[in-house]
Amino acid sequence: MDGPDRAELVLDDQVLVFDGEVLEHFVRHLDDGARIHVRFLAVHGEEPDRRGRTRYHFTPGPDKAGGVRISVPPERQADLDALLDAIGRARRRLGLTG
């Protein structure tokens, strides 16, 4: 994707797209997608499991209710890092912390 605050993460049956303002989650089952504006977006990460997969939870607030859960294999870590960096830049641009 183009632009400093844009990123995309493609997993087996999921795609996360960040356009600089909104994180969109697309899945094969249309009723399971989600959209979260960066002003409300909170990101919760866990340590990698024994297979090296990292679990992340993107929520519409500071608690872990609702939102999007993903498990990222080591070979997709660079794409996850790019997504997290883009979200961080967008939050800083808007004067948001955390």
Residue 30: the pLDDT is 67
DSSP class of residue 73?
Answer: -
- pLDDT digit string, tens, across residues 55-68: 999 999 888 888 99
- pLDDT digit string, tens, across residues 60-93: 988 888 899 999 999 999 999 999 999 999 999 9
Using the Cα atoms of residue 83, residue 88, residue 93 and residue 97 in order, give the sign of their dihedral. positive
**DSSP strand pairing (34-37 vs 7-10):** unpaired
Rounded to whole angstroms, how far apart are CA atoms 33 and 24?
A: 7
Q: Which CATH class is domain 7-93?
A: mainly beta
- Indicate the pLDDT class of residue 1, thresholds 50, 70 and 90: very low
- Indicate the pLDDT class of residue 29, thresholds 50, 70 and 90: confident
